[in-house]
Amino acid sequence: MIHRTLIYAAKDGDVAISVTVDDPRQGDRDWSCAYEIGWPDAPRRGYGYGIDGTQALLLALKAIGTDLYTSDYHRSGRLRWVEPGDGYGYPVPKNIRDLLVGNDAEYDG
């Protein structure tokens, strides 16, 4: 399992947002990779699926990036990883790269 902590600057103080990614697991026909974003209002659990473990992991990471960049937390401008406005360090699909900010936009955009 891998883990990252993002910070949401709530009105009453900082809130840690845990992002975890499980190791890819082989199924009968494909691979899956579970992830969870610990949003304060409702944690979000999802999966990436692929032909092999690498593809499942990559698609899980892109799903995390999509969930982060399309969230109300991101739109509020109060979600950060290291510095505000620097991005979160997760890839996104090509069709939403216009949402990237900071280092994410510079290196992945």
What is the domain partition of the chain in residue ranges?
2-108
Q: What is the pLDDT of residue 109?
A: 56
Q: What is the pLDDT of residue 97?
A: 92
Residue type present at position 17: I
Partnered with residue 34 across adjacent β-strands are: 47
Q: What is the pLDDT of residue 10?
A: 94
Instruction: Find out whether 8 and 17 touch, Cβ atoms under 8 Å.
Output: yes
Non-local (6+) Cβ contacts of 34 within 8 A are 21, 22, 25, 45, 46, 47, 60
Averaged pLDDT in 10-residue chunks for the chain of 109 residues: 96 96 96 97 96 98 97 96 92 92 83
Q: What is the pTM of this model?
A: 0.93
Q: What's the rounded Cα separation, in Å, for the pair 42 and 57?
A: 23
Closest CA to 51 of 34, 25, 29: 29
Closest CA to 76 of 35, 34, 41: 41
Residue type present at position 59: L
